[in-house]
A and B are shown apart, each in its own frame.
Chain A
Amino acid sequence: MDILSNLALGFSVALSPWTLMLAVIGCFLGTIIGALPGLGPSNGVAILIPLTFSLGLDATSALVLLTSVYYGAMYGGRISSILLNIPGDEPALMTTLDGYPMAKNGRPGDALVISGVASFVGALLATIGLMLLAPLLSRVAYQFGPAEYFALYLLAFCTLGGLSSKNQAKAAFAAALGLAIATIGLDNQTGMPRFTGGNLHLMDGVDFLVPLVGLFAVSEVLIYIEKQGKDSSLGIKLEKVTIPFREIGQSFFTMLRASLVGFVAGVLPGAGASLGSFLAYMSEKSIAGKKGGFGTGVARGIAAPEAGNNAAAGGALVPMLTLGVPGSGTTAVLLALLMTLNITPGPTLFTDRPEVVWGLIASLLIANFVLLVMNVPMVKLFVYILAVPPSLLLPGVMMISFVGIFSLTGSYFDLLLMTGFGVMGYLFRKIGIPTVPIILGILLGKHMEDALRRAMILSDGDVSYLWSSPIAIGLWVAAIVGFVAPMFLRPILKRPDRVID
């Protein structure tokens, strides 16, 4: 059994006291980051990357810490959805639909416990799915040449633009902008500078952490300053937390189905956790029918989106690790981390660095149990954290972002650039241009161009080489369908509005 011996290797890495401690810290930080409105998983992980740098963590430790944060944030997002009716992060939006009504009916504790258990089921099943599917996919990935990789990158941008945004033109522009930013700096093939405007700071290109923290964290603070005081007051008191065994039992099959739906959504490159929780909620709603009472605060309505979003979070790691193509905004950030650590994700990762992959998988299994303990018996602790006033939290986020970026190069230029990206991110969010494709573009730009140019070298300039293999054709078709189909599906799959009280 390959998997068992690999897992044994993984656990030998993950069970060292140091790695274990990092996993626990990561889970704790992650739950906080997820719970605080305005500090989503991508933000949180983005801010923490420079810090893990200055801590001097090795690859496995850094990866364990930040993926625990990532998993933790997926658990934490539900807390403010349920108690404040404000999703702590975007995937947790669906949890407000039944979570908040149940909390208002005087059962906030039950809602938190049910969603915590559902998160656990979703994340655990997805981690197992990751364990089984990733090695298989990495074997397929060996057959990928430059033409296939180019098509795969295209697929990621197309599904991201088609499924996760409201307007294809805006999403496609965002992707092109990100890719264009990636062309700044020295040309990989010829070694000549491009688009630097003679500025020496730009010779090495734009370090992707700078736009990352700018677009996510700084713009978030600006959004907050704009609508200050409108959000966040703890309206619901949490008394004793008991475990509603009966309802958990009743929604058990919901959790299983939602996990499967979520996992599949997560594996699709570019789709991610928001889509996972959305599809899981909608499919359970239609299975339950009118009698199910979805939207009034029923257990299954809480279990479905939470199992779905956590399963999608695990599923999104599959394409990220095996192909180097992230399935969501946060996995894009994790990909950035891998690249800064000089780890190239892809099929070779599984053969060359098994201790990294399997150590990560084992840590995720452990992190899940830690998170279950933190998010069910200890959930009250995190409820207090919601009471941190934004006027302390957001300046803190801002200062940490600045010092984090400053620690990379120690130059004011990066700080100015980060501020510039922050303002850009703010304006873009106002007019509805998604920021995730920009980040993905910056991350994948160099690889995408390299793949295209290597394909052209192999074929001596014959463009049809790009769709000459069955895998490549399949990817192109999927990319086009992923981009075009949502235009027709959008009226059918309308997102439910938030509960307004």
Chain B
Amino acid sequence: MLRSDRVFGLVVILAALAYIASALQLQTSFLSDPMGSKSFPIGLGAVAVLCGIVMIFKPEDEAEWPAPVAILKIFISVVVMVAYAYALKPLGFLIPTTLAAGILSYLITPRLTFNVMVGIGLAIGLYLLFRYALGLETLQAIPKGWGG
């Protein structure tokens, strides 16, 4: 019987083995202590493998996975976050924040006017808060070279 726990247990075991393998490859230096830099990671990997085995043989009840619509929404919000991470520096604070906050707000409750207001309000409000109340100098409002 295929359950999420079993699949995950297998993933855990594979990842832990990969971690142990890369621990074995670690360069050792001439400054060494009795334990060295490999033993602790190898021990951790072994514990994780054990946990993975337990998960495969004693899985819990199946997790409740969301409906396809909800998965799509989560996927969109993750894409938005990744895009935001890349955009924040080159595009300044205001434009990416308005878009990201607006889209997230729409994903939670779709009410277009309200979502637009949330986006704009959060962008301006948080900018003022971070830049002036908290004195965060690194925050650029708009891209460099736009006159600001």
Q: A104 contacts the other chain (Cβ, under 8 Å)?
A: no
> A402 near B85 (CB under 8 angstroms)?
yes
Given contacts A54-B135, A170-B51, A225-B77, contact A195 B22 (CB under 8 A): yes
> A167 near B60 (CB under 8 angstroms)?
yes
Residues of A within 8 A of B35 (CB): 452-453, 456-457, 461
The CA of A179 and the CA of B130, in the complex, are separated in Å by: 33
The CA of A177 and the CA of B48, in the complex, are separated in Å by: 8
Number of B interface residues at 8 Å Cβ cutoff, please give it.
71
Chain A residue, CB-CB nearest to B115: A391
A contacts with B: majority SS:
helix
List residues 79-103 of chain B with CB under 8 A from any CB of chain A.
Answer: 81-82, 84-86, 88-89, 93, 97, 100-102
The CA of A406 and the CA of B102, in the complex, are separated in Å by: 20
> A460 near B34 (CB under 8 angstroms)?
yes
Residue from the list B51, B77, B85 in contact with A169, Cβ < 8 A = B51
The CA of A191 and the CA of B88, in the complex, are separated in Å by: 34
> A391 near B81 (CB under 8 angstroms)?
no
> A391 near B111 (CB under 8 angstroms)?
yes
> A453 near B40 (CB under 8 angstroms)?
yes
Chain B residue, CB-CB nearest to A414: B85
Residues of B within 8 A of A423 (CB): 78
Q: A422 contacts the other chain (Cβ, under 8 Å)?
A: yes
Residues of A within 8 A of B51 (CB): 169-170, 172-173, 176
Residue from the list A180, A395, A415 in contact with B118, Cβ < 8 A = A395
The CA of A316 and the CA of B135, in the complex, are separated in Å by: 33
> A54 near B130 (CB under 8 angstroms)?
yes
Name B residues whose Cβ lies closer than 8 Å to a Cβ of A.
Answer: 4-5, 8, 12, 16, 19, 22-23, 26-29, 31-35, 37, 40-41, 44-45, 47-48, 50-52, 54-55, 58, 60, 63-66, 70, 73-74, 77-78, 81-82, 84-86, 88-89, 93, 97, 100-102, 104-109, 111, 114-115, 118-119, 122, 126, 130, 134-136, 138-139
A-B contact pairs, 28 of them (CB 8 A): A54-B135, A55-B134, A168-B54, A169-B51, A170-B51, A180-B45, A190-B28, A190-B37, A195-B23, A195-B41, A225-B74, A226-B74, A228-B109, A392-B118, A394-B104, A394-B108, A395-B104, A399-B122, A407-B130, A407-B136, A410-B138, A412-B89, A415-B81, A418-B85, A431-B63, A449-B40, A452-B40, A460-B34
Name A residues whose Cβ lies closer than 8 Å to a Cβ of B.
Answer: 51, 54-56, 166-170, 172-173, 176-177, 179-180, 183, 187, 189-192, 194-195, 218, 221-222, 224-229, 389-392, 394-396, 398-400, 402-403, 406-407, 410, 412, 415-416, 418-419, 422-423, 426, 430-432, 449, 452-453, 456-457, 460-461
